[in-house]
């Protein structure tokens, strides 16, 4: 499972094991994750922020009320940024503060402000670990969905032997990998196109269509939730980039073709949700076309078919097309499935307030020896059903 593009917030509280977290930060960065480190005062007593800055290439954050940091990425934004928060070492003190919902420094405030998964790697003396208060705090945090990575058993820095050691960096790295390794598309690389394309007529005008990007962005989001590493090639739309997605913005069908062909060879699944302009202007003008009394003729020429080009690649990805139809949906969708040599096609009725720019949609999905219909529902939910179907058919 690749951690590429994953956003990991590494919290470091006060404990001698903090020096081992440097190795964990290095392993995560090497695996392609973006790692941002937040340190408590106690953490800084054991290892310096500079060490983590050098290892992650990111500024290390220590203060809650830091005007410079709030101007760049505020603590609320940072809380939303993380795909996973890992506190290693998690001292008895930080565990107690988290259990009681305190927000008295940057790290505990971030945890309280975030709905990202939180994992703790406890590290403390074996007596502190077995205290009833610690046991109660751990039980209450677990009940709220907080994951515990450890502790391990063995020699302790204080000379004691027992349960309470922080797990070794390589073990914590595996715990983190396993966390991301649970969805139906875990470890797979998914390439998605979304939105419309714009075909310029002159410097101020263009041909386009009504696609908002909602469906394609929902598909990208659902693929991330299913554990995939996702690249999204997006036409001009006003949609927020889903968390952990690598987004490539394009404008014309030709730009979308170039971006997709560069990424496709390295993808396991390609999902073509974009409404690509079939034609571009053959006689595009360098200057604004002036109004005249007569008729204006625009010559159109065919754009390359991105979906068909990907489907033709040797050892290319599992290729899923969309079909936007105003009539005879099954006939046209099945025709595209066969003609473009696709693995699957998701057909949706469009026009008359359906499909384009709507929050809801319906899909009828066809593959060579099967089909599945999904009634009208929110595009987010629909995208999750589509991803499950793709995972199931690809694996069969």
Q: Which of the residues are catalytic?
A: 158
Contact pick of 92, 264, 307, 311 for ligand PMT (by CB under 6 A): 307
| Burial class of 328 by CB neighbour count within 10 A (0 to 12, 13 to 18, 19+) | exposed
Q: Near ligand PMT by CB under 6 A, which window of 10-18, 22-30, 68-76, 267-275?
A: 267-275
CA atoms lying within 13 Å on the CB side of residue 317:
27
Q: Which residues contact 189 (CB under 8 A, 6 or more apart)?
A: 2, 228, 229, 230, 231, 266, 267, 268, 269
70: contact with ligand PMT by CB under 6 A: no
> Shortest CA distance to 2 belongs to which of 230, 261, 319, 316?
230
Which DSSP symbol is given to 351? B
**Residues between 223 and 242 that touch ligand PMT (CB under 6 A):** none
Residue 383 contacts ligand PMT per CB under 6 A = no
For position 317 contacting ligand PMT by CB under 6 A, the verdict is no
Interface with ligand PMT: number of residues (CB under 6 A): 29
Question: Would you call 236 exposed, middle or buried from its count of C-beta atoms within 10 A (0-12, 13-18, 19+)?
Answer: middle
Q: 181: which strand partners? A: none
Dihedral (C-alpha) 52, 58, 63, 69: value to the nearest 10 degrees? 170
Sequence-ordered list of residues with C-beta below 8 angstroms from that of 173, at least 6 positions apart, any chain = 24, 27, 28, 31
**Binding segment toward ligand PMT, per CB under 6 A, in 10-18, 80-88, 129-137, 352-360:** 352-360
Nearest distance from residue 286's CB to ligand PMT, in Å? 24
Instruction: Select 34 or 239, whichever has its Cβ closest to ligand PMT.
Output: 239
Min separation Cβ 85 and ligand PMT, Å: 32
Q: Binding of ligand PMT at residue 386 (CB under 6 A)?
A: no
Site residues for ligand PMT, 124-143, by CB under 6 A, read none
Contact 74, 107 (CB under 8 A): no
Under rule CB under 6 A, residue 349 binds ligand PMT: no
Q: Kindly state whether residue 211 participates in binding ligand PMT, applying the rule CB under 6 A.
A: yes
CB of 338 to ligand PMT, least distance (A): 13
CB-nearer residue toward ligand PMT: 46 or 279: 279
Does the footprint of ligand PMT cover residue 34 (CB under 6 A)?
no
Interaction between residue 214 and ligand PMT (CB under 6 A): yes
Q: Which stretch binds ligand PMT (CB under 6 A): 90-98, 142-150, 209-217, 364-372?
A: 209-217
Q: How far is CA 285 from CA 31, 134, 256, 299, in A?
A: 47, 72, 21, 11
Residues 6+ apart with CB under 8 A from 209: 196, 275, 277, 356
State the residues that interact with ligand PMT by CB under 6 A.
193, 195, 211-216, 253, 272-276, 278, 303, 305-307, 321-324, 336, 348, 350, 355-357
């Amino acid at each position: 499972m690749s951690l590429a593009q994953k956003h990991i917030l590494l919290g470091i509280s006060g404990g001698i094991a903090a020096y081992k977290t440097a190795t964990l930060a290095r392993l995560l960065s090497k695996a392609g994750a973006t790692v941002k480190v937040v340190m408590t005062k106690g953490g800084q007593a054991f290892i310096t922020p500079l060490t983590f800055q050098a290892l992650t290439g990111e500024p290390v954050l220590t203060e809650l009320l830091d005007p410079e940091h709030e101007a760049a990425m505020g603590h609320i934004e940072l809380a939303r940024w993380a795909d996973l928060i890992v506190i290693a070492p998690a001292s008895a003190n930080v565990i107690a503060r988290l259990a009681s919902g305190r927000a008295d420094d940057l790290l505990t405030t971030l945890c309280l402000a975030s709905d990202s998964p939180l994992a703790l790697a406890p590290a403390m003396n074996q007596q502190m670990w077995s205290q009833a208060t610690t046991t109660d705090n751990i039980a209450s945090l677990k009940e709220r969905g907080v994951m515990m990575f450890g502790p391990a058993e063995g020699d302790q820095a204080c000379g004691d032997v027992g349960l309470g050691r922080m797990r070794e960096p390589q073990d914590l790295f595996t715990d983190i990998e396993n966390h991301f390794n649970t969805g139906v598309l875990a470890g797979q690389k998914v390439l998605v196109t979304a939105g419309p394309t714009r075909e310029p007529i002159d410097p101020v005008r263009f041909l386009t269509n009504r696609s908002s990007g909602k469906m394609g962005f929902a598909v990208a989001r659902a693929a991330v939730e299913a554990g995939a590493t996702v690249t999204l090639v997006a036409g001009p739309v006003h949609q927020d980039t889903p968390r952990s997605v690598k987004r490539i913005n394009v404008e014309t069908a030709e730009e979308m073709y170039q971006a997709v062909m560069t990424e496709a060879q390295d993808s396991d699944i390609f999902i073509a949700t974009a409404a690509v302009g079939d034609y571009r202007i053959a006689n595009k003008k360098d200057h604004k076309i002036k109004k005249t009394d007569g008729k204006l003729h625009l010559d159109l020429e065919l754009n390359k078919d991105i979906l068909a080009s990907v489907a033709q690649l040797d050892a290319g990805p599992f290729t899923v097309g969309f079909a936007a139809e105003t009539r005879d949906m099954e006939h046209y969708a099945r025709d595209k499935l066969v003609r473009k040599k696709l693995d699957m096609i998701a057909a949706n009725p469009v026009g008359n307030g359906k499909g384009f720019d709507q929050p809801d949609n319906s899909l009828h999905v066809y593959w060579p020896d099967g089909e599945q219909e999904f009634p009208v529902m929110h595009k987010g939910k629909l995208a999750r059903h589509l991803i499950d179907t793709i995972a199931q058919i690809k694996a069969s």
